[in-house]
Structure 1
Amino acid sequence: MMLASEQHTPLMTLLRVGTIFAPERIEATDILMAGGRIIALGNDLDTPKGWPVRVVEALELTAVPAFIDQHVHVTGGGGEGGCGTRCPEISAHEIAAMGIGTVVGVLGTDAISRSPANLLAKVRGLRAEGISAFMYTGAYRVPPPTLTGDIQRDLAWIPEVIGLGEIAISDHRSSQPRQDEIERIVSDTRIGAMLAGKRGICHFHIGDGKRGLEPLRRLLTETEIPANQVIPTHVNRHPALLEEAADYALAFNASVDVTAFEDAGDGLSGFDAVSRLLELGVPPERITMSSDCNGSLPEFDANGAYLGMKVAKNTTLIADWQRLVHEGVLPLESALGLISTNVAWVLGLHARKGRLAIDCDADVTLLDSKLQPQQTYVAGRCIYNVSRT
């Protein structure tokens, strides 16, 4: 692997590819990148002789916006079965090898041996290795653990913090927050984000409890909070929850996030979940997919006793996404929204990410004919090249 810290990187990089989906297909086949941004798109682009430019000839590959994973346990999740069940951290290589240029780090059940400060340190470490990394403040529990002691201050003063999450509801592992507590933390997130010029989403972990999405329905019905402030994830945990998620998305013109479970068990795979949401009339731009990678996939009995667990991987996310295109569920330009364009919009990063356009971040993934990532660029620097692994 080649990391972004490689020395003697030219000031500009010119990618010459076969096709560009931006996410729509465009006529251009060249991408010129400098200063971390895309500065030109066209055909047969040239630069003055002697300029410090590296030319990458990849005419057999397709350029797309680098993927965005909005739910990654970058410090490792787990712990539900004791200290021996803590999941490992994720590496920059594991992220970039899947064509992912941007991740959002999240804490889950364990906010005791792991903390927002630990998460921030990991996020900054990934940035140092070339990954575009952000984080949610908080964890499963309410009141949420924070960096500064206050949700609004975290959002206002810490650039890497772009929202709150993952807050657990309808789950035996949640802190069983009251409705007024949910309303307060979402409101605090909204105000802190407004002061910082961020979207400030609240990322909600939905368990398999009988309340389902009801707390979020009440939030959007009984308060003035806009639907784009709230993102429910793991909505494919079981078929009834997915049906409820479709109704929720349509009723509130809201976005829902599908998890690419490696072993869906009683739930639906990412492929099956997206396919079903589309059948139920949910617009593709209201659907996102995330990996939950390096988080735990615990199994409990009917009484909530721990039985065992697996560790989630981001390879499943890419495999499910590829299958949606290969089997004709969505064309490539629409499918890209699920793990790039739509996600950028949800996170409030759409002015910079999720598109290949002039002045956008130079985050580019090069895919082969099977949609397998071959090279990943973040801010114009190659952080993964399959030929050098």
Structure 2
Amino acid sequence: MILIKNIDTYSPEHIGIKDILTTFDKIAYISEKIDLPSSNFPETEIIDGSKLKAIPGIIDLHVHITGGGGEGGFTSRAPELMLTELTTNGVTTCIGLLGTDGTTRSMGNLIAKARSLELEGLNTYVWTGSYAVPTRTITDSVRGDIILVDKIIGVGEIAISDHRSSQPSDQDLIHLATEARLGGMLSGKCGILHVHVGDGKNGINPLFYIRKNSEIPFSNILPTHINRNSLVFKQAIQYAMDGGFVDITTSIRPEGNDEVHPVDAFQELLKHNISPYQITMSSDSGGSSPIFDANGNLTKFGIGSPSSNIEILQSCIKAGIPMELALIPFTSSPAKLLKLNGKGNLTEGASSDIILLDENLKIHSVICKGKIMVYKYKPIVFGTFENNK
């Protein structure tokens, strides 16, 4: 049990100075004042929350937990992410996925890594598939994977408008979206088709086609990397205005290639009266960030970092976006869209996934599933193969 005293609490809506009592992996009570009995009461760790802020743990829906990359040959394969890379950056729930490489990296590998991180203290789920169509699965069926494998919530990241994709037809995408939706309906999961949008000139036009020529609801499709360039972002604004959901990649920053800064993207979407509950933000951490020239030659290579989420959250608030609004794409919006019940908010009965921020919005402590993972700026729980000396 953990009792956080006198902490300024955002649920993400601001509810003021509160005491928060967690029991195992749930928030038991939130009240103006919680006094513990002096005797015959379970041992409780008390944290002084004075001068701190409590926010829900970050839900990162796009993480290459087994490592991404490979576009520059075998030596460019990114390494697996370790537990503290996620927890020290406030991620308490992550959804793992494969990317370009669905050959040397497998769904079995992805699920095993997700289970490993779960045992080490994180909440984890995965998307089945990879860039390719037909895509990678466990049961030879997207629908079967979602229904039968507890960790799998949808299919992704399926690549469109990218020279690294398998160039799926519009009908291929409709079929995948239908399989995902039906799998979600039969299992009570979100059943989303999570779409990687590349630099190609077609942008997100295939998603407009799906909406026009199928019965798939907007809530079953989520394009990501919509701030990749101004063309894709302009299309994404229209897609969201029509009712669609969009995911901003926090690790995409302007580097002279027409990228749209995540803070600017969020503000522009809000200016178009798009609900923050149609917007999510994710890191693409562990994934490669290759830059290709006009001839398709690799010119630059980087790796997305889990730190990009908290950095962009801080930047949103510093840009004048109210904290309760800035938190939504990282917490309650992905929780709602992905049907992660009990996550994304600080209410009684919700999951005890809590971040404590200091006055400078730096991460002071992280609680995940009712266990303190980071305390006073330092990780105190480490992955099996991490050096904690």
Residue 278 (structure 2) aligns with:
286
* Secondary structure of the structure 2 residue equivalent to 1:191: helix
Alignment of 1:338-377 (within 5 A): 338-349=329-340, 351-377=341-367
Residue 62 (structure 1) aligns with:
53
Structure 1 residue 315 and structure 2 residue 270: aligned?
no
CA distance in 1, matches of 2:69, 2:268: 29
Residue 9 (structure 1) aligns with:
none
CA distance in 1, matches of 2:351, 2:162: 38
* C-alpha contact (below 8 Å) 1:257/1:289 kept by paired residues: yes
Deviation, structure 1 residue 320: 1.7
* C-alpha contact (below 8 Å) 1:270/1:317 kept by paired residues: no
Deviation, structure 1 residue 28: 5.0
Residue 104 (structure 2) aligns with:
113
Residue 25 (structure 1) aligns with:
14
CA distance in 1, matches of 2:295, 2:378: 49
Match of residue 145, structure 1, among 136, 150, 165: 136
Alignment of 1:31-70 (within 5 A): 31-48=20-37, 49-52=39-42, 53-70=44-61
Alignment of 1:164-313 (within 5 A): 164-251=155-242, 253-261=243-251, 263-265=253-255, 266=257, 267-313=259-305
CA distance in 1, matches of 2:31, 2:328: 23
CA distance in 2, matches of 1:198, 1:287: 19
Residue 368 (structure 2) aligns with:
378
Residue 74 (structure 1) aligns with:
65
Deviation, structure 1 residue 100: 1.3
Residue 113 (structure 2) aligns with:
122
* Secondary structure of the structure 2 residue equivalent to 1:362: coil
CA RMSD of aligned residues (A): 1.3
CA distance in 1, matches of 2:355, 2:284: 21
Query: Equivalent pairs: percent with the same residue?
Result: 38
> For each residue in 1:74-100, what CA deviation from the matched residue of structure 2 results, as whole angstroms up to 9, or x when unmatched?
111000111010111111101011111
Structure 1 residue 96 and structure 2 residue 76: aligned?
no
* C-alpha contact (below 8 Å) 1:17/1:63 kept by paired residues: no
* C-alpha contact (below 8 Å) 1:72/1:103 kept by paired residues: yes
Deviation, structure 1 residue 264: 3.0
CA distance in 2, matches of 1:28, 1:45: 12
**Distance verdict in 2 for CA 1:334–1:281, change over 3 Å:** same
CA distance in 2, matches of 1:151, 1:47: 49
CA distance in 1, matches of 2:118, 2:30: 26
Deviation, structure 1 residue 387: 4.4
CA distance in 1, matches of 2:373, 2:144: 33
Unaligned runs of 5+ in 1: 1-11
CA distance in 2, matches of 1:386, 1:298: 35
Deviation, structure 1 residue 179: 1.1
* Secondary structure of the structure 2 residue equivalent to 1:29: strand
Unaligned runs of 5+ in 2: 380-389
Return the TM-score normalized by structure 2. Answer: 0.93
Structure 1 residue 16 and structure 2 residue 2: aligned?
no
* C-alpha contact (below 8 Å) 2:227/2:252 kept by paired residues: no
Residue 3 (structure 1) aligns with:
none
> For each residue in 1:238-291, what CA deviation from the matched residue of structure 2 results, as whole angstroms up to 9, or x when unmatched?
11211110010001x121111113543321121222122223332322221111
Deviation, structure 1 residue 164: 0.6
CA distance in 1, matches of 2:323, 2:32: 22
CA distance in 1, matches of 2:53, 2:347: 15
Deviation, structure 1 residue 213: 1.0
Residue 384 (structure 2) aligns with:
none
Residue 387 (structure 2) aligns with:
none
Q: Which amino acid aligns with 1:367?
A: L
> For each residue in 1:221-242, what CA deviation from the matched residue of structure 2 results, as whole angstroms up to 9, or x when unmatched?
2111110100000001111211
CA distance in 1, matches of 2:105, 2:375: 32
CA distance in 2, matches of 1:308, 1:240: 22
CA distance in 2, matches of 1:238, 1:353: 31
Return the TM-score normalized by structure 1. Answer: 0.93
Q: Which aligned segments of 4 or more residues in structure 1 are displaced greater than 4 angstroms?
A: none
